[in-house]
Structure 1
Amino acid sequence: MNYHLNDLPERVYKPRNNGLTMVMDKGLSCRQAEDFIEVAGPHSDIIKLGWATSFVTPKLEEKLQIYREANLPVYFGGTLFEAFIVRNQFDDYRRILDQYKMEHCEVSDGSITIEHDIKCEYIRKLSEQVTVISEVGSKDVQKIFAPYKWIKLMNAEIEAGSWKVIAEARESGNVGIYRDSGEVRQGLVDEILTQIPQETIIWEAPQKAQQVWFIKLLGANVNLGNIAPADMIPLETLRLGLRSDTFDHFINL
């Protein structure tokens, strides 16, 4: 930090297992990735190349190397995994992970239907190759899971080998753990937290109001995902109580 302030909430230092910020790269150029790292690299923990953008991203290997040199793990979005699975190309997907020297991958079923036992088997197989992050929840606004089902699915995926489970919200933040208005399904989140350790969950929270809600609920070191590159510095100030939205939460005035 550039100067000292008393009584700030303590942030876990990198590399960290909680207090993670997952950044959504939806198509940054190599130069933009370098600029992003210069500004927000110290506050970022892992980069997701959103959905299947890696398929059409120019200079993909160059960009991956830029992130690696900055010690920022990077992975392909779960929709790419689903695109391979729906075409019966699981072995090809595994070869792609090796080809691009990926150390993480995302297993999701937000766009297609996969029997959960089969999804967990994919997690088991991939966890022998890379660190798996799995995603629970659908991108279809019409599919609303009961809390007990979220808990059951998350537990099974952790047991199958997932390092973290992502609570689905899309990059727009209006499905899954949120209503279509973007409002948090508070009862759902509360129920999930009765059974799943909060440090194991990455809550997708692309909107500022959602980030504020989770920081107030779980503190500065809550895991948050789908954060836009331009929102990284603003988010870190929210975590530290240095923006009006969380200012009163961390200090007695």
Structure 2
Amino acid sequence: MFNRDLPFWPGGWSDPSQQRQPKPRATGLTMVIDKGIGRTAFYDLMELAAPYIDIYKLGFGTSALYPAKFLKEKVEEAKNRNLHVMPGGTLFEIALCQSSPKAYIKQVKAIGFNAVEISDGTFTLSPEARKKAIGTAADAGLIVYSEFGKKAADFRAERDELLDTLEADLLAGASYVIVEARESGTVGVFDGKGKVETSFLLDIHNAAGSRANRLIWEAPQKEQQVALIQTFGADVNLGNIAGADILAVETLRRGLRGDTAVMMAERRAATCE
């Protein structure tokens, strides 16, 4: 007999890395960005890939356009699959221009979300306003994912600014800080072609110390996912992953894909012929 909810293959085949932890995980998180998939595609994704997803984000302001019934269904199903589910940070920024953090958080809670993204990628927040928004959300019992960075095409992350934001946001009540890359993967720590300097990543990671595992790197492109996994290992936190790419990313983490298979074999001191 076999468990229909687990992979059919032997454990050493389904996870050659022998590093992946079951949910709930504190590291090795995968954040999906949902740009508006429908009912059938959503439930198919949950059935196939929910064990490999930790955070489910309804990107930008898409959740504001959902029929109320379907929005609540989507949120509840994600929670039933042990996911943190949240609206995109842009919706928070739009709401804040017209109202208050307290009013926005009240609406987020009423819909049923168990997490929220606090960002200022389009409309700048003062440090005091950012701290207040994070604290308001955390006090309401939501898991807070703050975001560092701007949506502008010429935005490039600065090491010290990122580290200062990481420290301040965690102190304010955020659980993780997402490093902006947009769905294009061409801002933040990436250049206009989506490339990144590994030495820059390592500098940030080393300077962050024990807080480094609270960073989530948006990495929508396969080459970026490979680079981050090769640099930090299978348990790096990755964000802005398309639903269709979830299993592909998980194979990279586990060494089930040529891009990382040799690296994972070497890390577990095994020989693959």
TM-score, normalising length: structure 2:
0.88
Deviation at residue 114 of structure 1 after TM alignment: 1.0
Alignment match, 1:50: 59
Deviation at residue 51 of structure 1 after TM alignment: 0.9
Rate the CA distance shift 1:145–1:216 in 2: closer, same or farther, 3 A.
closer
Alignment match, 1:243: 257
Task: Supply the distance in 1 between the matched residues of 2:54 and 2:131 (Cα, whole angstroms).
Answer: 25
User: Counterparts in 2 of 1:11-90, with a 5 A limit?
Assistant: 11-58=20-67, 59-90=70-101
One-letter code aligned to 1:226: N
Alignment match, 2:3: none
Larger helix share, 1 or 2: 2
Alignment match, 1:208: 222
Task: Supply the distance in 1 between the matched residues of 2:88 and 2:254 (Cα, whole angstroms).
Answer: 29
Deviation at residue 187 of structure 1 after TM alignment: 4.0
Alignment match, 1:109: 120
Task: Supply the distance in 2 between the matched residues of 1:103 and 1:69 (Cα, whole angstroms).
Answer: 11
1:165 and 2:177 aligned: yes
Contact 1:30 1:66 in 2 (8 A): no
Over the matched positions of the two proteins, sequence identity in percent amounts to: 38
1:184 and 2:190 aligned: no
Q: CA RMSD in A?
A: 1.5
Task: Supply the distance in 1 between the matched residues of 2:157 and 2:75 (Cα, whole angstroms).
Answer: 35
Task: Supply the distance in 2 between the matched residues of 1:70 and 1:149 (Cα, whole angstroms).
Answer: 35
Partner of 1:152, secondary structure, is helix
Rate the CA distance shift 1:86–1:187 in 2: closer, same or farther, 3 A.
farther
Contact 1:106 1:133 in 2 (8 A): yes
One-letter code aligned to 1:106: E
1:53-84 Cα distance to aligned partner (Å, 9 max, x none): 10002321122122122222210111111011
One-letter code aligned to 2:256: L
Alignment match, 1:142: 154
Partner of 1:202, secondary structure, is strand
Task: Supply the distance in 2 between the matched residues of 1:186 and 1:219 (Cα, whole angstroms).
Answer: 13
Alignment match, 2:242: 228
Partner of 1:162, secondary structure, is coil
TM-score, normalising length: structure 1:
0.94
Task: Supply the distance in 2 between the matched residues of 1:95 and 1:175 (Cα, whole angstroms).
Answer: 32
Alignment match, 2:186: 174
Which shows bigger deviation, 68-77 or 185-194?
185-194
Name structure 2 gaps, 5 residues minimum. 1-6, 266-270
Name structure 1 gaps, 5 residues minimum. none
Task: Supply the distance in 1 between the matched residues of 2:135 and 2:49 (Cα, whole angstroms).
Answer: 33
- Equivalences, count: 253
Rate the CA distance shift 1:23–1:203 in 2: closer, same or farther, 3 A.
same
1:118-166 Cα distance to aligned partner (Å, 9 max, x none): 2112111211011111000111123334211111111111111110010
1:127 and 2:138 aligned: yes
Deviation at residue 15 of structure 1 after TM alignment: 0.8
Partner of 1:41, secondary structure, is helix
Task: Supply the distance in 2 between the matched residues of 1:161 and 1:68 (Cα, whole angstroms).
Answer: 21
Rate the CA distance shift 1:216–1:62 in 2: closer, same or farther, 3 A.
same
1:206-228 Cα distance to aligned partner (Å, 9 max, x none): 11001001111111111111110
Task: Supply the distance in 1 between the matched residues of 2:94 and 2:47 (Cα, whole angstroms).
Answer: 33
Task: Supply the distance in 2 between the matched residues of 1:249 and 1:105 (Cα, whole angstroms).
Answer: 35
Contact 2:101 2:136 in 1 (8 A): no
